[in-house]
Structure 1
Amino acid sequence: MKFTTSTDAEMETFLSVIGKHLNEIGAEGMIDLYTDEPIKEPALQQALIEMTQEVESQHSRKGDYLTGVPLDFASQTGLRRFALLGHRTIGSEAYVGKKLVFTSIENERIVWLDLPTADVTSLEEAALAAGARSLRRLP
């Protein structure tokens, strides 16, 4: 199922709810630390810079280490980064085992979930209650 919101702030709210659920179901996530459009908001820039610096500090040799960067859904920092950047970079995904259960749609405020209907409905309700008032399913 695909979802969108009218604002980035509401998508952040939805991703915050999704990230907590992904942690509960043991999903492993990853994000690409590239954007097609420059990020201008200071908090977003800071999150992207921090993640980029952490990745680069772990690798001494040349290579592209900014794609498929692991996300930590179990930590507050990881959840915050996922909520802020999950829909703003060129890609973000989560898997349970080998099954893709979440992905963002590049360059758009659209995310896709492949979870049980009851879980999706619960996530939708929680996001609406948390302030994602414009959240809606797409065909």
Structure 2
Amino acid sequence: MEIFLTAVGEYLATVGAETTIDLYADFEITDPEPKRLFEELRQAAAAQAQTANAGRRGGDPYMAVSLDLTTSGGMTYFSRLAHRTIDCESVLDNKVIFSTVENERIVCVGIPDHEVETLESKAREAGATTLSRVA
């Protein structure tokens, strides 16, 4: 999944989609690197919310955390965590074009079929072996 999400993330960055992630997981993240990245991003989100909301009551700092997919850090968080959290989505022109569905094996993409085929091909070339589409 991480290989495919890298290809998806590159596409999303290219088209300028706004991407957010919710930093909650239904199941414990046990893989060492994703677990570290999850905790790191939660700490950064809490610190940013504390600074932004000094003296005010704010919302949940772990919901709808922005990811900048034009940076290597943003891409790393996206590819390692998007499918492990309760939600990650990308919006372009007020339309959701990518979303996770609280499942480590399924993502939803709302982009043209030829773009999906290109992403699948790119992921396979990078080593992905278990990609399949659900209609």
Q: Normalising by the residue count of structure 2, what TM-score does the alignment of the two structures yield?
A: 0.91
User: What amino acid is aligned across from residue 19 of structure 1 in structure 2?
Assistant: G
1:129 deviates by 0.9
> What is the aligned-residue identity percentage?
40
Structure with bigger RCO (C-alpha 8 Å, 6+ apart) = 1
1:105 deviates by 1.0
Q: C-alpha offsets along residues 65-91 of structure 1, whole Å, 9 cap, x if unaligned?
A: 101000111001110110000000000
Name which of structure 1's ranges 102-111 and 14-23 shifts more when overlaid on structure 2.
102-111
Structure 1 residue runs of 5 or longer lacking an equivalent are: 1-10
What's 2:27 paired with? Answer: 37
Structure 2 residue runs of 5 or longer lacking an equivalent are: 51-56
Runs of 4+ in 1 over 4 A off after TM superposition: none
Aligned pairs, number: 129
1:59 deviates by 2.0
Q: Does 1:54 align with 2:50?
A: no
Structure number with the higher strand fraction is: 1
5 Å-filtered alignment, 1:1-139, equals 11-60=1-50, 61=57, 63-139=59-135
User: What amino acid is aligned across from residue 29 of structure 2 in structure 1?
Assistant: I
Confirm or deny: 8 A CA contact 1:36 1:107 kept in the other structure.
no
Larger Rg: 2
Q: Normalising by the residue count of structure 1, what TM-score does the alignment of the two structures yield?
A: 0.88
Confirm or deny: 8 A CA contact 1:13 1:132 kept in the other structure.
yes
The change in CA–CA distance for 1:62 and 1:24 in structure 2 (over 3 A counts) is: closer
